Amino acid sequence: NDAKWAERASRAKFAIKKWADCNEWNFQNKLLLLEAEEAFCYNDIDSAKSLYEKALSSAREHRFIHEEALTHELAGHFFLEIEMKDTAVEHFMQAHEKYHSWGAVAKSNALFEFVQQVLGTMSSLDASPLPNFSSSTDGHEDDGVKNARKRTSEWSADTWDKSL
């Protein structure tokens, strides 16, 4: 139900805004990204573009490479949706590189596969292909990914609601 999700989003945004007011360093980029996604949902294209850029600048300034990666990825989906495919590819490439730099090789490779499937025939992608970073062979990374998925699946929307 849309009203339920809108209320949940409103409460989450209110909480993150309070946190950002108290600790801009840690929460500013998160608030900006949430606002970009909200603008995207409401089809406010110009605001969304501006907010994604501000979120990227904040994540970069505060050295949150993983959140810079996430912001690039979400901006890539946004630009793909509004049919700015070259810009989408640029953001996906940046996300791919940032995820890899952060050590999230499995995520980096999953994004690589997504881009190849969805955008693989584009000339800009063919001119600047994404490198497919291979996972470590010692098995630790795969166990880490499995554990992260398990922990993530245990965190439900109801748990999130209770935390607000």
Beta strands, E only, the chain: none
Ranges of residues in the chain with a pLDDT under 70 are: 1, 120-164
Q: Structure pTM? A: 0.73
pLDDT in the model for residue 5: 86
Structure token pair of residue 78: 């946004």
pLDDT in the model for residue 2: 84
Taking the mean position of all CA atoms in its chain, how far away is CA 114? 14
How many other C-beta atoms lie within 10 A of the C-beta of residue 163? 9
pLDDT in the model for residue 131: 55
